[in-house]
Amino acid sequence: MCYFTYVPTLAYKIPIHRLCELPPMATLKDIATACGVSIRTVTRALKENGYVAQPLKDRVRAEAQRLGYRPSRIARSLKTRQSFEVAVVLWNADELHLAKIAGLEHALRAHGYTVNILYASGRPGAEDDIPAPVEELLHHRPAAVAAFAGPRFDKQADGPRLEEASIPFVVFDVYDPGVDSVRVDRPQGVREAVLYLGRQGHQRIAYLGCAADVNRLQGYHAAMGELGLVPQLLELPDDRGRFDGAREFAATFARLEDRPTAVQAYSDETALGFLAGLQAQGVRVPEDVALVGFDNRMAAGWASPPLTTVAQPNWEVGQAAAEILLAKIAGTPPPAGGWSRSVPTRLVVRESA
Amino acid sequence: MCYFTYVPTLAYKIPIHRLCELPPMATLKDIATACGVSIRTVTRALKENGYVAQPLKDRVRAEAQRLGYRPSRIARSLKTRQSFEVAVVLWNADELHLAKIAGLEHALRAHGYTVNILYASGRPGAEDDIPAPVEELLHHRPAAVAAFAGPRFDKQADGPRLEEASIPFVVFDVYDPGVDSVRVDRPQGVREAVLYLGRQGHQRIAYLGCAADVNRLQGYHAAMGELGLVPQLLELPDDRGRFDGAREFAATFARLEDRPTAVQAYSDETALGFLAGLQAQGVRVPEDVALVGFDNRMAAGWASPPLTTVAQPNWEVGQAAAEILLAKIAGTPPPAGGWSRSVPTRLVVRESA
DNA sequence: TTGTAAGCGTTATCAC
DNA sequence: GTGATAACGCTTACAA
């Protein structure tokens, strides 16, 4: 067993096994000898990038077909110094993340790219035993990087390092003006949901969440302004888990005078915690209080009553990220206003509101 | 723009942009010239696989360090005909899947492998517009494949095709004797949960689910046998969604004579649907009926009451898959009894039982 | 103990 | 129109 001990930033030793080799595939040379022409002619015939007599071209293509020829990505990458892998940095196993990755992968695959996962947290409970993701990225040199914001991906420090290595990247759901990001349009999503509540006849519509989250609040205030209603913020402590925090808050809420008849919650988790708390207090949803979540997780559909919620446009977010990355890889200059984009959400009306 | 139109099985055209090249990295040759030795000596010094004088070795390593040398995976792959990518085929954005992938990736990365995602379903609602995953795999030739069972990955047909191309693979959660699989130990998980219910003093413990699912039922019957209780199967129709099916069944259940005091459900989704239905009937959980789910999804913790459930050992399943794949890649002969493995679950006691 | 050299499968620059 | 041929960065058999 031999180790690459000379890679100091890589915490792992990489054992080189006696590995099984991949079975040989047809190469350009195989086609060339089979057709009795040169390898250069073959590429020309296959790639349409030079002159080659039509009958010969047909013959070459038929032969390529017959041999099941596939261009070797490896050889191509070596020669052209281009990678065809896009790395995704992620920190937790969230269904919403995976849905975004699915959209990203779909779009990138259409362009011959492959998506690889870099799960940057260690085993749950032992998170620190792995190298920082940027080191890994700098090591593997993907064509581009899509990152979920996380504890050990520092937008300030890591972004520039990637940029310096000229690796294009986007970050999901970050509002930092300095970094290119694809985000779900939370202001618009909340606005739409609150307008819906208004159309249902609610006069006292509150927002339940942490005041530090400006994006959703912005949409809330916009909608309340449009409706001509006075906003009411039900502020949640940030220290407790969102579920428990909201559940406990329900007791306070239940005793409120002139209590709101409708609540837009920060997230499905918050909404579900609040729902649990309300039911414990004997407050009925939606009869006494209409409740809207945000995210459209599986859990939202499985609540009782099933939760009305704002669905994240996961697939579209992933696709937008792919488009940005492809453009950056191709060296396209950024559009006026920068690369960042917000993708509209969709209100999913179920039974809670 | 030029297209690889000669790849007939690949539905996508692969456009070749004018891509930005990766910035040049230090190579073995750079180190060699910097040290005034041959390239061969450099590899020997770095890889410990031959004799090289200690001072020279130190000098070479220092230089490698200084230049930030990283071996090129591309070049290595080309030369050794080995891939260092493991493909994961998946079909839907499920949090449980991603958690398994995380464990897999963690273990594989430690061995210098990279995990890439092949999301084999198209955009939700337009699933058929993409090539069959096996074709993609045969094209990309990963070192190995880990697949989630899905509609277009046929164990009968696709497995052999991979095998024939000598691409090692495992499938998650499949009990087919012919295919190597890592599965969560559902019989044991259900058994443990039902024994727990027994220890809580329940005498009438039912299983709620579809009779076709033998694995969990097996554990249920084992536990009931051990407890000396008579099993009772509450069979769910397979045609409705699991949530709705279970919710609707609750009405029937509520009117049952001598109705069970405890229910082990097929999944969290089933349990949550049943819970919703019970609450609609005025049946209290856990006071009137104790309820246990399976999967330990986020949704389980966010139910009211929070659902007691059997947690899937996602991380460990991923790791087990990695171990099998690595062993297969290394050409290790299969152990007696084959590669397949079951990984034990963990009972998460919350408030519903 | 160190060096030479031949590939791996592409791409692309020349010459015919 | 077509064909030699030289890289790309690494591995490794074979000399010295």
User: B-contacting residues of A 204-233, CB under 8 Å?
Assistant: none
Distance from CA of A123 to the nearest CA of B (A): 7
Indicate the pLDDT class of residue A5, thresholds 50, 70 and 90. very low
pLDDT > 50? residue A161:
yes
Q: Does A25 touch chain B (CB under 8 A)?
A: yes
pLDDT tens for chain B, residues 1 to 353: 222 322 322 222 333 334 555 566 889 999 999 989 999 999 999 887 778 888 888 999 999 989 888 889 899 999 988 899 999 999 999 999 999 999 999 999 988 899 999 998 888 777 666 667 888 888 788 999 999 987 777 666 777 788 888 889 999 998 888 889 999 999 999 999 999 999 999 999 999 998 888 999 999 999 999 999 999 999 998 767 789 999 999 999 999 989 999 999 999 999 999 999 999 999 999 999 999 999 999 999 999 999 999 999 999 999 999 999 999 998 889 999 999 999 999 999 999 99
pLDDT tier at A96 (50, 70, 90 boundaries)?
Answer: very high
Task: Name chain B contacts of A298, Cβ cutoff 8 Å.
Answer: 95, 269, 297-299
Q: Which helix (H) or strand (E) holds B86?
A: strand B85-90
pLDDT at B132: 76
Per the CB < 8 A criterion, the answer to whether B194 and B223 are in contact is: yes
Q: What is the pLDDT of residues A25-49, one digit of tens each?
A: 889 998 898 888 989 999 888 887 7
Rounded Cα distance, B269 and A34, in Å: 58
Q: Do A6 and B65 touch (CB under 8 A)?
A: yes
Do A72 and B81 lie within an 8 Å CB cutoff? no
Please say whether the beta carbons of B60 and A5 come within 8 A.
no
CB proximity B52–strand C (7 Å threshold)? yes
Where residue A128 falls among pLDDT bands split at 50, 70, 90? low
User: What tokens were used for A14?
Assistant: 């990489």
Distance A329 CA to D12 C1' (A): 36
Mean predicted lDDT score pLDDT of chain A: 87
CB under 8 Å to A317, separation ≥6 — which residues?
A: A100, A103, A172, A182, A183, A184, A343
Q: B-contacting residues of A 133-152, CB under 8 Å? A: 136, 139-141, 143
Listed in sequence order, the residues at least 6 apart from A349 whose beta carbon sits closer than 8 Å to its beta carbon are A196, A308
Report chain B residues whose CB lies below 8 A from the CB of A61: 6
The span from the CA of A133 to the CA of A120, in Å, is 6
Residues B142/B116, Cβ–Cβ less than 8 Å: yes
DSSP B75: H
* Secondary structure string (H, E, C) spanning A233-256: EEECCCCCCHHHHHHHHHHHHHCC
Contact A193/B at CB under 8 A: no
CA geometry: angle A97, A98, A102, nearest 5 deg: 120
What DSSP letter does each residue of B165-198 carry, written as one string? TT--EEEES---TTS-EEEE-HHHHHHHHHHHHH
Residue B140: strand, helix, or coil: helix
Q: What is the pLDDT of residue A129?
A: 66
Chain A residues lying within 8 Å of B269, measured CB to CB: 298, 302
Residue nearest to nucleotide C12 (CA to C1'): A40
Is the pLDDT reported for residue A342 higher than 70?
yes
The answer to whether A54 CB sits below 7 Å from nucleic acid chain C is no
- Longest pairwise C-alpha distance within chain B: 90
- B346: contact with A, CB 8 A cutoff: no
Q: Identify whether the C-beta of residue A285 lies closer than 8 Å to the C-beta of residue A305.
A: yes
CA-to-CA dists, residue A322 to A86, A104, A114, A221, angstroms: 9, 5, 11, 32
Output DSSP code: residue B126.
B
CB-nearest to A331 from B18, B121, B279 is B18
Q: Helix B28-35 crosses helix B39-47 at what angle (to 10 degrees)?
A: 110
Q: Are B245 and B195 in contact (CB under 8 A)?
A: no
Q: Does A78 contact B74 at a Cβ distance shorter than 8 Å?
A: yes
Is the shortest CB-to-strand distance from B34 to strand C under 7 Å?
A: no
| Least-confidence region, from A9-23, A262-276, B2-16 | B2-16
Q: Which of residues 319 through 338 in chain A touch B, CB cutoff 8 A?
A: 326, 329-331
Cross-strand pairs, A115:
A86, B117
Q: In this structure, which long-range contacts are made by residues B73-76, counting pairs with CB atoms below 8 Å and at least 24 apart in sequence?
A: B73/A140, B74/A74, B74/A77, B74/A78, B74/A83, B75/A78
Closest nt by CA–C1' to A76: C10
Pairing between β-strand B181-184 and β-strand B341-343 as defined by DSSP bridges: parallel
A/B interface, count of CB pairs below 8 Å: 241
A114 part of contact set with chain B, CB < 8 Å: yes
What is the spatial distance between Cα B186 and Cα B173, in angstroms, rounded to a whole number? 10
Neighboring chain A residues of B88 at a CB cutoff of 8 Å: 117
Nearest to B81 by CA among A329, A24, A191, A286: A24
Distance CA B234, CA B254 (A): 12
Cα(B70)–Cα(A131) distance, integer angstroms: 15
| Per-residue b or e along A205-240, where b marks 16 or more CB atoms closer than 10 Å to that residue's CB | bbbbbbeeeebbbebbbbbbeebebeebebebeeee
> Cβ distance A297 to A268 under 8 Å?
yes
Contacts of B114 in chain A (CB under 8 A): 85, 116, 140
Compute the distance between CA of residue B124 and CA of residue A314 in angstroms, rounded to an integer.
11
B105:A119 CB<8 A: yes
Report d(CA A51, CA A41) in Å as an integer.
9
| Four-point Cα dihedral A124, A129, A133, A134, nearest 10 | 160
Separation of alpha carbons A209 and A236, rounded Å: 5
Interchain pair B17, A329: CB under 8 A: yes
Strand D nucleotides below 7 A of a protein CB? 1-5, 7-13
How high is the pLDDT of residue B13? 31
**Residue A170 and residue A189: Cα distance in Å, rounded?**
22
Residue-level pLDDT at B171: 94
pLDDT at position A127, please? 67
Is the pLDDT at A9 greater than 70, yes or no? no
- For B244, half-sphere exposure in the C-beta direction (CA atoms, 13 angstrom radius) is 5
Supply A314's token pair. 């996961």
Cα dist. A292→A196, A217, A237, B300 in Å?
10, 14, 19, 19
Q: Is-contact A153 A311, C-beta < 8 A? A: no
- List Cβ neighbours of A165 (8 Å cut-off, separation of 6 or more): A138, A141, B23
Q: What confidence tier does A21 reach under pLDDT thresholds 50, 70, 90?
A: low
Q: How far is residue B196 from each of residues A3, B201, B207, B220, B265, measured CA to CA in Å?
A: 48, 9, 14, 12, 14
Count CB atoms within 10 A of the CB of residue A288. 13
Between CA A307 and C1' C9 the distance (Å) reads 56
Confidence bin at A3 (pLDDT 50/70/90): very low
The answer to whether A178 and A155 are in contact (CB under 8 A) is yes
CA(B330)–C1'(D5) in Å? 37
Cα–Cα distance for residue pair A210/A242, rounded to 1 Å = 9
CA–CA dist A234, A266 (Å, integer): 10
